[in-house]
Amino acid sequence: MAPASDELVQIMLELLLVYLILFIFGLVFALLNLPLLYTLLFSKKLRDDAKLLICLAIGDLVNCVALSFMGLDRYLLYIRCIPIRMIPLETSLSCASKPYMWLRIIGNLWPPTVQVVMGMERVIASMMPIVYIKHLRNRSLHLSMLSLAVVLIFCTVGLALAIINVSKGYVKFDCGRCYYVAQNRMPYRIV
């Protein structure tokens, strides 16, 4: 543990409500994703034809759950740190061991990866229809697995970087990014 400056305590006080709202909104939107996912998974026609859309829905659900967990984790962290005016010392590996970090990586990477795969599929279908019909038309499961493999590769790279950088010292105590406002040079944390 390290002492927290008055400025940092003030910032944590300001962000308490923000992270509580993030927790609530993440949870609400995760619950709103469930009917969509239910519809996509339990309709035989949609399940057969819309595998990439199912991947998008799962990725969005994971992202909402991750944001909710992150909001809760940081809210509880700030609640613990403010009264004692101390912050924990975190390394890149201790941050990587938090489950919401992995959910955030998956939720931030999988939907855009699926969108790129869908875009490439549409480009191939319009530019090379014969190739599309022969090789891609009924292979949406393979394309879904490709998108998942890309995300898992990036997760592996992230873990490797966390292990490599563990000896380089400490990272921010809440495992987030720090941005500076030009007017007064006070660090403001955002998700």
User: How confident is the prediction along the chain (191 residues), in pLDDT tens digits per residue?
Assistant: 888 889 989 999 999 999 999 999 999 999 999 999 999 999 998 888 889 999 999 999 999 999 999 999 999 999 999 999 999 988 888 988 998 999 999 999 999 999 999 999 999 999 999 988 888 778 888 899 999 999 999 999 999 999 998 888 888 888 876 544 444 444 555 44
The pLDDT score that the predictor gives to residue 178 is: 58
Query: For position 180, what pLDDT does the model report?
Result: 44
Give the Cα separation of 171 and 156 in Å (integer).
20
pTM greater than 0.75: yes
Q: What is d(CA 166, CA 116) in angstroms, rounded to the nearest whole number?
A: 33
Task: Using DSSP, state whether 185 is helix, strand or coil.
Answer: coil
Residues facing 188 on adjacent strands: 179
